[in-house]
Structure 1
């Protein structure tokens, strides 16, 4: 492995680590702030950072008039709808379960691609989804088949998954025209506009009366800098050199990293049943992206 390849793989692994740890950082911020406040502050810090980087590198492009509506739709799906589902969902489910559900995004994206871009759905995708659904079931049900996680929390996490699929559909038409830094910068800025009315209506009073500790502020800054900014830049760098499919394989590691971090930092339980469920989900994800070859038996 040459030096450049090492840098590429290191960049992707770091992005996965930052996104994995984001589920832990969110739980820490929730000790003081509510979900909408958390997302809004995260986006404000991230947008400020990205525009400084983009302008200093002269990488922020102007958006053409015919693409502005698509950009608003892009921001509606992510960060608005995605973070709305994820942030509210993580109030009700564990960091590990949330990461497992979010990691199924690569499985459901092909259905959006089929409906809107006429891309074919292979049998391995369907098989991968079946595996992953079984894996999530192992985590959320006990031996008596009773839910051990909030149904509303699970539904909200899958809302985030649906939003990510919608995001990928819209993104395909814009990615060929604008740089990732441009799109991420503007979508975060528009996301602030979406979240601001909700914040002013429901969480302003709580925000003004909250007394954040240094630990909470550090976690919030880590979310904005590492998860919402640097991770996207590192992952985009990886996609540029490895391509989308090879890079997406690394997303499968997020539930594993999150489970380990949550165990040590948040003292979340890591039961044998949970480990089995995570393994099944990851197996389904890898299966959906594997190249299956069947050779004919010679007679």
Structure 2
């Protein structure tokens, strides 16, 4: 394998900063959660469309009825993930919301255990328990501040469960399609879902001030296309675990940005609880047996 022209950690760092901006851009936009989510996905689809039409349209024929069904479910889950997560930011802080949404690996484990009967190791159980303790710590601290903050935390956790469902239903389809085709199909379904959601709720598609259109476009370009594209590029050179651990620093970056941009105070319960969640998920992602074997070989 040829060496990359730049160190893989450079795009990973840029990717983490990119996804950290997601919550910030949502709070900057002056629109309903469903509308923000709709334009984020719509602009993503529009920006991807030329590349898809030039190189990948033939892959649509590879989709079976089952694939279309799973892709549809994944797209709907992704749509409501964005709705609930964006809505959570109206009630709780960026720090709490992003930490709780980052618990996706734990929800993924629960899903794979229930649906694919994957085995549970002692390390997995302990790591999950640690992450849950951290999330309870955050939620209890927010509840003492206000009931609405706790409500926002609950929305963020449901959003986390939905993004896990999106990944679980999409993983089988993704194996047979290129990243562009799979993303195009699921993002399109998600956009259609969000369109009808906004329509049925009677939310306004516009007009909005120019600055809001700028935030909508940035949401599509920075966290959606730039952030995740850089992570996918880096997978050629580093393991999935490295990416998974890097993504855990999204709430750290988001909380720091929110502190400077929105003057959001980070409470001690958020710092302690967030740290516990991140440690728990790192324990979940890292295979300590492999690390131990490496040190044994070196010894």
Structure 1 residue runs of 5 or longer lacking an equivalent are none
Which runs of structure 2 are paired with 1:71-90 in the superposition (5 Å)? Answer: 71-78=71-78, 80-90=79-89
What does residue 127 of structure 1 align with? 126
Task: Give the Cα separation in 2 of the matches to 1:12 and 1:43.
Answer: 23
What does residue 165 of structure 2 align with? 166
The reply on whether 1:110 has 2:109 as its aligned counterpart is yes
CA contact (8 A) 2:23 2:86 kept: no
What does residue 51 of structure 1 align with? 49
What does residue 243 of structure 2 align with? 247
What does residue 9 of structure 2 align with? 9
CA contact (8 A) 1:36 1:203 kept: no
What does residue 297 of structure 2 align with? none
The reply on whether 1:212 has 2:217 as its aligned counterpart is no
| Off by >4 Å, runs of 4+ in structure 1 | none
What does residue 176 of structure 1 align with? 175
The reply on whether 1:195 has 2:181 as its aligned counterpart is no
Deviation at 1:289, TM superposition (A): 2.0
Offset from partner CA, 1:162-214 (integer Å, 9 cap, x none): 1122122212211210012111111111111111122122244x444x54252
What does residue 221 of structure 2 align with? 225
In 2 relative to 1, CA 6–285 (structure 1 residues): closer, same or farther, beyond 3 Å?
A: farther
CA contact (8 A) 1:105 1:161 kept: yes
TM-score by structure 1 length?
A: 0.87
TM-score by structure 2 length?
A: 0.87
Deviation at 1:111, TM superposition (A): 1.6
Offset from partner CA, 1:32-88 (integer Å, 9 cap, x none): 2111111111111110001123334x145215233211211121222x221122122
- Computed over aligned residues only, the root mean square deviation of the Cα atoms, in angstroms, reads 2.3
3-state secondary structure, aligned to 1:33: coil
Deviation at 1:147, TM superposition (A): 5.5
Which runs of structure 2 are paired with 1:146-161 in the superposition (5 Å)? Answer: 146=144, 148=146, 150-161=149-160
In 2 relative to 1, CA 168–267 (structure 1 residues): closer, same or farther, beyond 3 Å?
A: same
What does residue 70 of structure 1 align with? 70
3-state secondary structure, aligned to 1:182: helix
Task: Give the Cα separation in 2 of the matches to 1:152 and 1:120.
Answer: 33
Task: Give the Cα separation in 2 of the matches to 1:102 and 1:182.
Answer: 26
